[in-house]
Amino acid sequence: MYIKGVGMTKFGVSDKLSHQLAHEAALEALQDADLKFAQIDAIVCSSIEWFFSIEKQRHFASMLASVFSTNKPIIRVPAACGSSGAGFWFAQQQEFDHVLVIGAEKLMTCKTESITEEFMMAAESKWEQDEGLNFPAQNALIAQEYMSAYPQSTTEHLAKIALKNHDNAFLNPKARFYQKKVTLEQIRDSPMVCSPLRMFDCSVSVDGAAAAVLSKDKTDIRVAGSDLCTDYISPFERDSNTSWDATVEAAKNAYAMAGIEPCDVDVAELHDAFTIVELIASEDLGFAKKGHACNAIDDGAFCLDGKLPINPSGGLKAKGHPISATGLAQIYELTKQLRGEAGDRQVANPKTALAQNIGGAGGTVSVHVLRKV
Amino acid sequence: MYIKGVGMTKFGVSDKLSHQLAHEAALEALQDADLKFAQIDAIVCSSIEWFFSIEKQRHFASMLASVFSTNKPIIRVPAACGSSGAGFWFAQQQEFDHVLVIGAEKLMTCKTESITEEFMMAAESKWEQDEGLNFPAQNALIAQEYMSAYPQSTTEHLAKIALKNHDNAFLNPKARFYQKKVTLEQIRDSPMVCSPLRMFDCSVSVDGAAAAVLSKDKTDIRVAGSDLCTDYISPFERDSNTSWDATVEAAKNAYAMAGIEPCDVDVAELHDAFTIVELIASEDLGFAKKGHACNAIDDGAFCLDGKLPINPSGGLKAKGHPISATGLAQIYELTKQLRGEAGDRQVANPKTALAQNIGGAGGTVSVHVLRKV
């Protein structure tokens, strides 16, 4: 299928509720696609129901039916932080001509005392939730395991990932940290969250929405390959966490569908929920040899002017991570990059782009390859 | 597509958690389909995340990946009480050869003081949740509106629906109220929940799971027509609630796909979350003229030995309503009926069957037509 249009709200703190954010992003995508809502055959949407929020919504599909005054089929596909990447994958499997895919999240109204508990509902119940193994802790253990296996990688490499993504977000008007300068010293000196991860190794929660129109009509952007894979929900169930099977499998299949190799990718948006997650993903996707992403990072290969820019948008780290909107925000960014519409953060002449979106600590991973036609 | 296998747990109070219930139903469906798990291309699952339960699970797809030790694509499709009917519809749109569709719910461990609040998260936030317009109250208002428009319909007709469904559940070994005799007097004298709905007008919460294998392989049961439609989330947003647009639209499309008329349907499973909902659905599906379902009820047309048996399984009312498992439990029942494997509750020689599954008060409705090949 082809991408006919994309839309995205500014990521940050919004007065709008999640269905209103969804509406805003959807209208932008429809306008970009030059389609009327009546021409859409089905909607695939994503959002989490937050219990300790000002809005508690389990029937988001029908909320959107109200917003659009429609009887069209609307399906909600939540997959924790990998929701709208999963929705984007699932929407392609459909036989419809035009599918509107939307992800939206309202995070900034959740009560702070309960948001950790709510986030942890995406982890395994007994051995993770009950034991208090929250996502920063899970990813800190993964970072420890990785650095133990590959001691050439240090926290300095994680800091450089954070710096790169903040530098990119500085240039992105829709990013949470647009024009907010962050230095390597600030990153190094930021509070320890869970060793070795500091505050600047963690992505930032925001309100936001993103949308895309997938179409059988030929456009300038083709979805050349796409796959979704799952894995054990708990990292401790897996043989190793220095590589994530769901990413490796999904990438293998997406590359095969697209008929490309990792070296053909010109720009990528990866799921940097934590800096270590981007580092591991860059290896799992074949952008660096296992254990050697650190060298590519030292060489600046993943910077905006590097060999393969990663997260030109600023990523989850600095553009912001509105859970269910993140996967489609990646598609938004890559579409803009391939079209040459990315403004100050434009990558030089990209033809092939890759998005990777993760739910949980690697339990659901989607990988999409977009190509300029 | 075709139905290659079905499975279902006993509905009631279970010691198992929802992913274990899902596993049990899935294994039965795989065995019934004579397929190994390795032959399945993708899984579409449904379950609600309950906050005040002993398990709080937002990433159910990955939980199932753990259960099945797989990297296969697994997608969760929640749509309130219409979840697994929606999943069954969505799974058919896929290009896969074999899709396993699962719905599971663990309701009986939710704390009673909070379950109403959790259920209400499927209603609109501001004017329904904040005002305390819970689902019994919403459906009571709908019953009042219906009886005001069609005064020939009385609470006696609702009581007869409850009695019929309990009589059927009496014969269904997997039903919550298997071999539990209920009389018309008990129904009439049961406590008022919200006028005119009494306790016996409301369906019963249970733990349970159901599963089906959808396949491109030809089998004896074909999914001849299927559609999903949405509507305004709040009944007050609609012009009238004596008929539900999402049912009417979905039925129209499903009938057209199947090339049949309502009079061709031999057996049906309808979403009797409340007795009034079955009554309205029977008209919206064309089984009775608008305002005249009461006559068919008086004639016993919808009883097990009637012209068109409705809810031979006992329905949500008396088989039980495990939210996300309900839609697939309907598919399970109809498959058994069409195969002639429904035991004591077997309908005489059915060829065409219809399932209707609803999310919220008509905000999401799926309608499926199954035919014996």
> What pLDDT is stored for residue B52 in this prediction?
85
Neighbours of A151 (CB within 10 A): 10
Tell me which of A19, A23, A45, A81 is the catalytic residue: A81
Q: Is A59 a catalytic residue?
A: no
The hierarchical CATH code for the domain B2-112+206-213 is 3.40.47.10
pTM for the structure as a whole: 0.96
Ranges of residues in chain A with a pLDDT under 70 are none
**Looking at chain B, which residue has its C-alpha nearest residue A237?**
B66
Q: Indicate the helix (H) or strand (E) that contains B364.
A: strand B364-372
- Measure in Å the smallest separation between the Cα of A73 and chain B Cα atoms: 5
**Looking at chain A, which residue has its C-alpha nearest residue B61?**
A79
Mutate to test the interface with A, among B45, B59, B68, B99 (most CBs of A within 10 A): B59
- Measure in Å the smallest separation between the Cα of B356 and chain A Cα atoms: 15
- Measure in Å the smallest separation between the Cα of A362 and chain B Cα atoms: 9
Using the 8-state DSSP alphabet, how is residue B183 labeled? Answer: -
Neighbours of B136 (CB within 10 A): 18
Alpha carbon separation from A277 to A11, A161, A360, B132, B246 (Å, rounded) = 21, 10, 11, 43, 43
* Contact check, Cβ <8 Å, B59/A122: yes
pLDDT digits (tens, 9 = 90+) for B78-102: 999 999 999 999 999 888 999 999 9
The interface pTM score, or ipTM, of the predicted complex is 0.94
Mutate to test the interface with A, among B75, B77, B106, B228 (most CBs of A within 10 A): B75
pLDDT digits (tens, 9 = 90+) for B193-231: 999 999 999 999 999 999 999 999 999 999 999 999 999
pLDDT digits (tens, 9 = 90+) for B132-187: 999 999 999 999 999 999 999 999 999 999 999 999 999 999 999 999 999 999 99
Q: Alpha-carbon distance B50 to B60, whole Å?
A: 12
> What pLDDT is stored for residue B347 in this prediction?
98
Tell me which of B45, B81, B294, B303 is the catalytic residue: B81
Residue scoring higher pLDDT (B112 or A167)? A167
A354 close to A367: Cβ distance less than 8 angstroms? yes
pLDDT digits (tens, 9 = 90+) for B49-64: 888 888 889 999 999 9
Burial tier of A178 (Cβ tally within 10 Å: 0-12, 13-18, 19+) = middle
pLDDT digits (tens, 9 = 90+) for A94-121: 889 999 999 999 999 887 778 888 999 9
Q: Is A321 a catalytic residue?
A: yes
Residues in a beta bridge with A213: A5, A100
Neighbours of B195 (CB within 10 A): 12
* Contact check, Cβ <8 Å, A62/B95: no
Neighbours of B126 (CB within 10 A): 11
* Contact check, Cβ <8 Å, A61/B79: yes
* Contact check, Cβ <8 Å, A78/B58: yes
* Contact check, Cβ <8 Å, B65/A129: no
Q: Alpha-carbon distance B225 to A300, whole Å?
A: 56
Long-range contacts: A346-349, Cβ < 8 Å, 24+?
Answer: A347/A266, A347/A267, A347/A304, A347/A309, A347/A312, A348/A305, A349/A266
Distance of CA A225 to the CA centre of its chain: 17
The size of the A-B interface in CB pairs under 8 A is 174
- Kindly list the residues from chain B whose CB atom is less than 8 angstroms away from the CB atom of residue A66: 124, 232-234, 237
Return the domain boundaries, chain A: 2-111+206-214
User: Domain A2-111+206-214 falls in which CATH fold?
Assistant: Peroxisomal Thiolase; Chain A, domain 1 (3.40.47)
Q: Alpha-carbon distance B346 to B179, whole Å?
A: 16
* Contact check, Cβ <8 Å, A125/B79: no
